[in-house]
Amino acid sequence: MNHELDALIAAPQHHKLLFENDMVRVLDANIPAGEKTNLHEHRHSASLYFISWSDFIRYDADGNVIFDSRSLEKIPLQGTATWTGPMAAHALENVGANSLHVICVEIKTKK
């Protein structure tokens, strides 16, 4: 993965650093309705805590749709958490009516 595509560097308008040490990195990811992030990546697996939900489309580096949340059978509720692996370069477009606001607790692994 490319350091220049780190979420804090490539998409700082939508990602804020809340805390970081040798073990974890905590990001506040907030994408308002109608906005699209710059191309970025997440190098670490993470627990995602949902503050608010909105439908979104995730695109790969070539602009191809790789995920559309409207296809989910069950959406995460406010105040719930889930797990995700590292994410290669992608952009995320909020196509819903609300902010997509998530706290990402990234678990750093030893290289």
pLDDT of residue 2: 72
What are the pLDDT digits (tens) for 28-66? 999 999 999 999 999 999 999 999 999 999 999 999 999
Q: Per CATH, which fold does 3-107 belong to?
A: Jelly Rolls (2.60.120)
DSSP state of 71: G
| Residues 78 and 100: beta-carbon distance below 8 Å | no
The domain segmentation of the chain, as residue ranges, is 3-107
What are the pLDDT digits (tens) for 2-18? 789 999 999 999 999 99
Phi, then psi, of 96 in degrees rounded to 5: -95, -170
Give the span between the Cα atoms of 14 and 40, in whole angstroms.
11
The strand pairing partners of 102, in sequence order, are 29, 50
DSSP state of 61: T
